[in-house]
Amino acid sequence: MNIKTLSGTLALSTLLTLAAAPPANAAGLLKPVNSTIPELSIREHHVNVVVEHSYAVTTVEQVFHNPSTQALEAIYSFPVPEHAAVGEFTYWINGQPVTGEVVKKQQARQIYEQEKQAGREAALVEKDSYKTFDISVTPVQPNSDVRIKLVYIQPAHLDSGVGRYVYPLEDGGVDVQKNAFWSRNEVVDEKFSFDMRLASGYSIDSVRLPQHTQAAIQQVSPDQWQINMASQAGALSQVVLTDDQPALSGQQPPTEQINNAGIVPAASLDKDIVVYWRHSQNLPGSVDLISYRESEATPGTFMMTVTPGDDLGALQGGRDWVFVLDVSGSMQGKYTTLVEGVRQGLAKLRPDDRFKVVLFNNSATDFSHGFQPATVEVITPLLNQLVQYQPGNGTDLYSGLTQGLKGLDADRSTAMILVTDGVANLGVTEKKRFLDLMEKADIRLFTFVMGNSANRPLLNSMTEVSNGFAISVSNADDIVGQLMQATSKMTHQALRQVELKIDGGRVTDLTPEQINTLYRGEQLTILGRYHKPGPVQVTLTGKAGEQIRSYHTEVNLPQQSLLHPELERIWAFASIENMQAKMDYLGADESSNADIKQAITDLAIQYDLVTDYTSMLVVREEVFKQLNIERNNQLRTEKENSARQQRLQQPNSSQRADSQKPMFNPSQHRATLGGSGSGAVGHWILLLIGVLLMVQYSNRHNRKKS
């Protein structure tokens, strides 16, 4: 099944802008609601990001302050970044940094509580499923500070020639019970900074922070850029992250941004920081390779990034579109904009298209009463009824999907567009049931994952079994850019039944194990282990329409490679995500699940990773010794930090591995948003800009009122 129209995509595109909700909460220090416990403050918050060669390393250093006369515990929570592996956590004890070690989750919590009761220094990083990372630190002494550092690693890939990095701060509001129990302090009182170094083996055309126009952006070389933001507390001229623009000279800041001392704080941690970078056009398709192998006695780890040339043709013809829209309580305050988005989107459908609209909250409603022709006579009364609908209640996602799958015509190509945060809290909630439903359906699911703390594991898995795709969206995103990326995929052929084979090198433990589909502009990233250095043969095959495509090259796996030790953690975490997906697919098979849980735990402890079953613990050095906890992670982080310093001192270089024998035809450049076949997109997008501006204004207005 292929996607065949551009016009239908615009209905989806407009709807995408609607789901960026005003943030209910943010990253910050937690305190029970209505508690008499004194409140801690965030004195400093500093972020350093290095993006190079397909992965990003994010370092967050914070200083918490206790202004009270009693010792307190600090609890800091922030959204889980996508595919992020927490590998380092440091707590300064008596002025000296102490690096955490990974142990089983229950054991880590027990040790932390014991140290807390004894009045000794301890800190803990725990993962709350797909929602948040929670940091606990004890004690914060009266009128004193504590300093902590957290480092996480995640892949950083291109889509249609555009890279995207998100530093997540907004809370998605998906955990109602947690948000009802805790109040949050997201204000940074004194100092805030965000620094990012962007390095690539290919020339970078431009860099953009759509919601932080005050950032200083500097091009260091054709393939290196630097981004900086910094602010301090003061009466004027500081950066306040809740505003889209810097304060004007002489302008009074909003009252809610002034602290008890009458000083405007340095920042508020309630808006994501999103950075885009765009590679130059006319770059060739390529295979890039980075690796780590310490010695002949150990296996090597590699990351292979395949960026295809643009040889997928545009599609023609009408089709059926099923829009499954979340109208639960989180949609209140933006429903009027949603209706306007539907109006604009349906107006762009082709005469030979049909559409169906399904709404869901506590239950699902076939709002359009089956598929309808995309005519003015049908669309106008439906929209008039839609205006009267009142959003609210919970989220029965399964009912919404089931209703959307009813009445499909086997003789017409159909796509389902799902807009939700994926937090199924009513009806069927078992992930296995969702996967079975989508696997049996003859339909591709295209999902827009809205906000942080969304149930990405569920939504991504559903799209994978249906050979669709999922796009994450932040309130701080460049919405027009996200629309164009989605449009490019849904109006062109996809490479289906994709397989990548590596002959030689005694390569093992590849992830992902199954690829299925590559859409236009997508990169394919393969992680794995190798035991025999030297040349290996790489073959990529798939089907475009009914035509079989095959691409081939030869790359070299090095004897020794010491510059990217982080690859071991990235591979291990990707393997853990793969095992977790398997466990979800198997459902409630307790014996199989127990084996997989144990395998995840063992791998997480071996490579020092925070997961659903493991946590990172910091105690005094003598306590580590008493508990016989080996300092493996301390050694690993020292190795990683040393390698980062070496990379920083070396000139940036290309990691292209197929220069001698290109995998793709050099005349077929990489797909870009401005490339072949997408020229018409720009004209339609211009028609949407008015709606987009209204959406952004509405969201800002709602945030200020809330």
Q: Residue 91 and residue 120: Cα distance in Å, rounded?
A: 13
Q: How confident is the model at residue 119 (pLDDT cuts 50, 70, 90)?
A: very high
Please give the pLDDT value at position 641.
Answer: 96
Task: Determine the 3-state secondary structure of 197 from DSSP.
Answer: strand
* Share of residues in the chain with pLDDT > 90 (%): 42
Q: Residue 43 and residue 39: Cα distance in Å, rounded?
A: 12
b/e string for 246-273 if b means 16 or more Cβ within 10 A?
ebeeeeeeeeebeeeeeebbbbbbbbbb
Are the C-beta atoms of residues 149 and 60 closer than 8 Å to each other? yes
Per-residue pLDDT at 67 exceeds 80: yes
322-351 average pLDDT score:
70
SS3 content of the chain, % helix, strand, coil (to 5): 25, 35, 35
13-36 average pLDDT score:
53
**What residues contact 563, with CB distance under 8 A and at least 6 apart?**
290, 292, 643, 646, 647
Q: Residue 658 and residue 381: Cα distance in Å, rounded?
A: 57
Pick from 238-242, 296-300, 647-651: least confident: 238-242
Please, where in the chain does CATH 2.60.40.1230 lie? 286-312+495-608
Pick from 41-50, 256-265, 589-598, 614-623: least confident: 256-265
User: Max Cα separation, the chain?
Assistant: 77
Task: Determine the 3-state secondary structure of 137 from DSSP.
Answer: strand
DSSP 8-state assignment for residue 423: -
Task: Determine the 3-state secondary structure of 653 from DSSP.
Answer: coil
Highest mean pLDDT among 88-97, 277-286, 366-375, 576-585: 88-97
Please, where in the chain does CATH 3.40.50.410 lie? 7-20+317-489+671-705
The residue type of 490 is M
* Backbone dihedral angles phi then psi of residue 71, each to the nearest 5 degrees: -70, 140
218-222 average pLDDT score:
92
Q: How confident is the model at residue 23 (pLDDT cuts 50, 70, 90)?
A: very low
**What residues contact 564, with CB distance under 8 A and at least 6 apart?**
53, 290, 291, 292, 303, 643
Pick from 89-103, 416-430, 569-583: least confident: 416-430
* pLDDT tens per residue, range 452-489: 667 778 888 888 888 888 877 776 766 556 656 666 67
Please give the pLDDT value at position 519.
Answer: 85
- Fold of the domain built from segment(s) 7-20+317-489+671-705: Rossmann fold (3.40.50)
Are the C-beta atoms of residues 162 and 658 closer than 8 Å to each other? no
Nearest to 526 by CA among 671, 643, 458, 536: 536
Whether residue 97 is preceded by a cis peptide bond, meaning omega within 30 degrees of 0, is: no
241-251 average pLDDT score:
37
Please give the pLDDT value at position 293.
Answer: 96
**Helix ranges (DSSP H) in 355-410:** 376-387, 397-404
229-235 average pLDDT score:
81
Are the C-beta atoms of residues 704 and 340 closer than 8 Å to each other? no
Q: How confident is the model at residue 269 (pLDDT cuts 50, 70, 90)?
A: confident
687-699 average pLDDT score:
43
Per-residue pLDDT at 676 exceeds 50: no
More confident call, 688 vs 68: 68
The residue type of 512 is P
Nearest to 506 by CA among 524, 528, 474: 528
* pLDDT tens per residue, range 152-202: 999 998 888 889 999 988 765 555 556 555 566 778 889 999 999 999 988
Q: How confident is the model at residue 98 (pLDDT cuts 50, 70, 90)?
A: very high
**Mean of pLDDT over the chain:** 81
Q: How confident is the model at residue 683 (pLDDT cuts 50, 70, 90)?
A: very low
Q: How confident is the model at residue 313 (pLDDT cuts 50, 70, 90)?
A: confident
Q: How confident is the model at residue 207 (pLDDT cuts 50, 70, 90)?
A: very high
Beta strand segments in 33-109, E: 41-52, 55-66, 72-79, 85-93, 96-99, 101-104
Query: What's the CATH code, domain 286-312+495-608?
Result: 2.60.40.1230
Beta strand segments in 308-452, E: 320-326, 354-360, 364-366, 372-373, 414-420, 444-450
